[in-house]
Structure 1
Amino acid sequence: MTSLEKSASPEVLDGKIPVENTMNEVETSGRAQTWFRKVFLGVELRGIERVMPEDRQSKGVINNLLMWWSVNCVLTTIPIGTLGPAIFGMGLRDTILSIIGFTILGCFTTAFCATLGPKLGLRQMVISRFSFGWWGAVVLSLLNIITQIGFSVIAVILGGQTLVYVCGSNLPLSVAIIIVSVMTLLICFFGYDLVHKWERYAWILISIIMCILYGTGHKYYSWTPSTSSGADLAGSVLSFGGVVFGSVIGWAPIAADYNVMLPEDTNAWKVFGLTFLGLFIPLVFVETLGALYGAALINNPAWNAIYEDGNAGLGSVLGESLSSLGGFGKFLVFILALSVVSNNVPNTYSAALSIQTLGKPFQRIPRFIWTVLVAVIYTVAGVAGKSRLSEILNNFLSILSYWTTPFVIVLALEHFVFRRRNGYNVDDYNDRSKLPLGLAGGLAFIIGVVGAVLGMNQTWYVGPVGKLTGTYGGDLGFEMAIGFTTVSFLVLRHFELKYSGREQLREYPSPNYI
């Protein structure tokens, strides 16, 4: 049997051969496979199939910290902090304390999800099949695709606005958005290894630029107190906290995607700790910078006018701050604009994997083709929404936590409560008949979303619980989702295991339990 014939065999389709011979379960002829390899030299052909322990690469777990640092120490993170003073009327002290507290909560969720990658060798949305069943995972994958595209829209708009500041009126914003999208696509197209190589070093220069920005804007910082107090201030903190929490937990549905090549016996606490720090340090560092600039907008009418300009935005404000450095300052703004690529890479890569999780017909199309489609979608959306960045950011990040919170809670309860002794039979990941029905996970998810709706506080809808805090209400969406999901899943999963007769958590050897 030739190597090409082997690559079309069932063993290949189960991911049981080295990465370079895996074809994403694409049912193509040997000639077609040869064409793929020649034309797309160096492109990752693996999709969502399990990475077997013998195929793992011995990469240092420290890459976890560096990757998430690069992903979050970017231009895209700064506007989140500005929302505290600029939109919610919060003083710097209250804004920074909220950033720290809600970031810690979000980091716990994403760091937990990251630990599942090395142990199971599966992508995050595929892992969800063991909690939500086949069809539940399909629904979650659709939500995740929308989420990652939403993140990407924010990234390309902000990066494009900043490029326009550097290049002037000669560069239309629409063209700048396309430039950022193409740069992202070039990295994601080739796959896992190039993604990690880029993120391993991208954080260094951007971290230095962030430090410079702290210094150049210092004369405009305002430590004035919040414009509200008591229950009204509590409402602002809850609403702003929902945005901050959403910006962190938004990585949970893709966290395991970037650990599947780590050895199976990688210490879970190391993965958890380094992921936590890789998220927490840059998020607090950069969002605090954003909070300072958000307060500066109040004291600097010229900056505020630039900020309100739909074709300029925050990127131009940062450019004005660095203008005192002359040509070097413009160079720094240019590099800062391109930093959004680091943030956008995992969005694009994981959205393509989520498309493959929709079903076997989608698996037959290679990941890199879906990557191109995702990039086209968010580029078009970015061009269409280029003048409404602040509105998109505020609404999107708040709503994001309404579905990701129930998702993570179900995943964690399934892992720590129901699979504590039995572990996972990872060979069942692509067999619909051996996966749980997912009724418990699906119903608990819906109940959790209902809880989020009751507690939400958005411009277009305020839930009955969300109205209770202060004059303008406070967003308790994700907090309500936690409580509703936890109680309902613990009860429903017990009955599902007892009466469904579908999947009884048989006594598997459980080396994959963390």
Structure 2
Amino acid sequence: MAVEPVAPAHPGEYGDRVVAVEPGGIEPVAAAGRHGKPHQLFWTWSSPNLEFATIFVGVLAVSAFGLGFWQALIAMLIGNGLGALSHAVLSARGPKYGVPQMVLSRLGFGFWGNLLPAALMSVTAGIGWFAVNSVSGAFALNTLTGLPAPACLAIVVALQIGIAFFGHNLVQAYERYIFAVLAVVFLVGTVVIFAKADAGAPSGGGGVGGFLLTVGAAFGYSAGWNPYAADYTRYLPSSVSGRAVGWFAGLGLFVSCSVLMAAGAASATIGGGGGGSPTAAFTGHMPGWLASVTLLAITLGAVAANALNVYSGALAFLCLGIRLPLAWRRAIVALGFGAIGFVLAWLGLSDAGSAYENFLLVISYWISPWLAVVFVDQFLHRGADAGRLPPEKSRRGWAGVVSFAFGAVASIALFANQSLYTAPVPKAVPAIGDITFFVGFVVAGGLYALLGREVRQRRP
């Protein structure tokens, strides 16, 4: 299999131009092409979470996992806090290296070992999340306009692919300008929902198990953005404060996820609402004018989320080492992911609930052990200048791959708890809920701390 050579992008070819197709693929961003400030990351990571997929996590916490509102809120804050913290740490490394997150993943996994997490990232972001958010956006547009759901899906997908095709600068611009609109609409909608909610309603008997399931689902949602982190900080000048980068990225993710998940949990305590689709049920609690505006915001928010999903999914795909001798190779891959995601979203229009619950938990199953390897490797080599290591093709990264695979397989086999598969531990102790993501992180991290010593001694 041929591998793509890694070379700096040509300075001045792209720069800060918005209406221009981003050239190349995963090459390091040259100093002449760096631009932007850390504060822009707040809306970069707020806008894509101001959409219905975020709200639905809160709905699941009450309606599916059996929690009361306050129980759900605490569980979601824990899950979001963990995801935002890891996101902040990963984002801070982008300006130093100037490469996407899945290229940085090679530090712990090696060039060839990184093929596994890069492939998982490609499928999760470019296809899985794309389909999930496209469905919610199509439902909202269908409820708002009355157009057939497939036609609404086609409109939403066309907008998403168009933004991702142009690349980094247009994606950042869209997140910036749509932020104010989405923030105002969802803030007003959240106030109305809370005014009608019964926060003191008794729980549905979810107990500790439901609480841990909610933590896992919230973590799976917020940490689902972790493999994208450096994709949107690599264009920042290397001189910016890493701490500021981390703060703005993590805060944008935490605030947006927590507020909208809380709104979803509150809406599930009201009862009634509209029928026909999850989005109609949520907006059915609102006055007519606000429901219409919120449906439009849900559609635009789905576009904000999927612009990132398609863009980062394409970058992860290029990290597989497949050579595409095209100046616009990233853009072409984005079109391919959009086409596949459209088909899957079309097939998923009939089932918007249980599949989403399973999807959230499965994401956390692989991201947790991946994060463990990345963070332990960063700790083992703290202070070292590893700027030349990501493109090295001679490093197979056996320690990272073994730790990742063992942590993921062992945790899933013993602790997974969902409708697709229930492992022995939750079968024997149902109250344990689903702690797969936590076990996977501990096992993979501990194993890599042992196996990585040899790598640490041989690394310059």
| 1:96 equivalent among 73, 95, 109 | 73
Using the alignment, how far apart are the partners of 2:393 and 2:6 within structure 1? Answer: 16
**2:92 aligned with 1:81, yes or no?**
no
Ranges in structure 2 where 5+ consecutive residues have no aligned partner: none
2:11, 2:31 within 8 Å by CA — same for their partners in 1? no
1:86, 1:294 within 8 Å by CA — same for their partners in 2? yes
Q: Give 1:464 shift.
A: 2.6
- Structure 2 match to 1:315: 279
**2:325 aligned with 1:366, yes or no?**
no
Using the alignment, how far apart are the partners of 1:391 and 1:360 within structure 2? Answer: 35
Look up the equivalent residue of 2:317 and give its one-letter code.
I
- Structure 2 match to 1:505: 459
- Structure 2 match to 1:441: 400
Residue 80 of structure 1 aligns to a residue whose secondary structure is helix
Residue 345 of structure 1 aligns to a residue whose secondary structure is helix
- Structure 2 match to 1:56: 34
Look up the equivalent residue of 1:383 and give its one-letter code.
W
Using the alignment, how far apart are the partners of 1:240 and 1:16 within structure 2? Answer: 43
Using the alignment, how far apart are the partners of 2:6 and 2:12 within structure 1? Answer: 11
- The 1:425/1:211 distance shift into structure 2, 3 A limit, reads closer
1:233, 1:470 within 8 Å by CA — same for their partners in 2? no
- Structure 2 match to 1:259: 233
**2:13 aligned with 1:20, yes or no?**
yes
- Structure 2 match to 1:272: 246
- The 1:220/1:274 distance shift into structure 2, 3 A limit, reads closer
Q: Give 1:405 shift.
A: 0.7
Residue 462 of structure 1 aligns to a residue whose secondary structure is coil
Using the alignment, how far apart are the partners of 1:41 and 1:183 within structure 2? Answer: 15
| 2:315 equivalent among 353, 359, 367 | 353
**2:448 aligned with 1:486, yes or no?**
no
Q: Give 1:146 shift.
A: 1.2
Using the alignment, how far apart are the partners of 2:308 and 2:197 within structure 1? Answer: 34
- Structure 1 match to 2:204: 227
Look up the equivalent residue of 2:399 and give its one-letter code.
A
- The 1:329/1:457 distance shift into structure 2, 3 A limit, reads closer
Deviation string, structure 1 residues 453-477 (Cα, Å, up to 9, x no partner): 1221111222233335445x51010
Ranges in structure 1 where 5+ consecutive residues have no aligned partner: 1-11, 23-39, 307-311, 499-503, 507-514
Using the alignment, how far apart are the partners of 2:80 and 2:390 within structure 1? Answer: 32
Using the alignment, how far apart are the partners of 2:237 and 2:114 within structure 1? Answer: 25
Using the alignment, how far apart are the partners of 1:332 and 1:108 within structure 2? Answer: 29
Normalising by structure 1, we get a TM-score of: 0.83
Q: Give 1:220 shift.
A: 4.8
Q: Give 1:204 shift.
A: 1.1
Look up the equivalent residue of 1:462 and give its one-letter code.
T
Residue 236 of structure 2 aligns to a residue whose secondary structure is coil
1:287-298 aligned within 5 A: 287-296=261-270
Q: Give 1:119 shift.
A: 0.9
Look up the equivalent residue of 1:283 and give its one-letter code.
C
Using the alignment, how far apart are the partners of 2:95 and 2:28 within structure 1? Answer: 11
Normalising by structure 2, we get a TM-score of: 0.93
Residue 118 of structure 2 aligns to a residue whose secondary structure is helix
Using the alignment, how far apart are the partners of 1:101 and 1:432 within structure 2? Answer: 38
Using the alignment, how far apart are the partners of 1:51 and 1:65 within structure 2? Answer: 22
Using the alignment, how far apart are the partners of 1:96 and 1:41 within structure 2? Answer: 41
Deviation string, structure 1 residues 43-68 (Cα, Å, up to 9, x no partner): 111310011334312x1110111110
- The 1:363/1:109 distance shift into structure 2, 3 A limit, reads farther
Residue 376 of structure 1 aligns to a residue whose secondary structure is helix
- Structure 1 match to 2:131: 153
**2:4 aligned with 1:45, yes or no?**
no
Using the alignment, how far apart are the partners of 2:377 and 2:385 within structure 1? Answer: 10
**2:219 aligned with 1:245, yes or no?**
yes
Aligned-pair Cα RMSD in Å: 2.1
1:422, 1:505 within 8 Å by CA — same for their partners in 2? no
Look up the equivalent residue of 1:463 and give its one-letter code.
A
Deviation string, structure 1 residues 420-439 (Cα, Å, up to 9, x no partner): 2422032x433412xx3211
**2:390 aligned with 1:429, yes or no?**
yes
2:14, 2:20 within 8 Å by CA — same for their partners in 1? no
Using the alignment, how far apart are the partners of 1:333 and 1:345 within structure 2? Answer: 19
1:63-142 aligned within 5 A: 63-142=40-119
Which has the larger displacement, 280-289 or 73-82?
73-82
- The 1:215/1:130 distance shift into structure 2, 3 A limit, reads closer
- Structure 2 match to 1:510: none
Look up the equivalent residue of 1:189 and give its one-letter code.
F
Runs of 4+ deviating beyond 6 Å? none
**2:398 aligned with 1:455, yes or no?**
no
Q: Give 1:253 shift.
A: 0.7
Look up the equivalent residue of 1:351 and give its one-letter code.
G
Deviation string, structure 1 residues 202-239 (Cα, Å, up to 9, x no partner): 121112111222243333545212222xxx61111111
- The 1:470/1:76 distance shift into structure 2, 3 A limit, reads closer
| 1:467 equivalent among 427, 430, 441 | 427
Alignment size in residue pairs: 450
Q: Give 1:342 shift.
A: 0.6
- Structure 2 match to 1:195: 171
Determine which structure has more spread, i.e. the larger CA radius of gyration.
Answer: 1
Using the alignment, how far apart are the partners of 1:335 and 1:422 within structure 2? Answer: 45
- The 1:152/1:21 distance shift into structure 2, 3 A limit, reads closer
Using the alignment, how far apart are the partners of 1:486 and 1:266 within structure 2? Answer: 30
Deviation string, structure 1 residues 125-176 (Cα, Å, up to 9, x no partner): 11111210122211111100111121111111011011111112xx211111
| 1:375 equivalent among 338, 351, 375 | 338
Deviation string, structure 1 residues 337-381 (Cα, Å, up to 9, x no partner): 222101111101011111111114146561111111011011100
1:47, 1:363 within 8 Å by CA — same for their partners in 2? no
Using the alignment, how far apart are the partners of 1:111 and 1:470 within structure 2? Answer: 34
1:234, 1:470 within 8 Å by CA — same for their partners in 2? no
Q: Give 1:197 shift.
A: 0.8
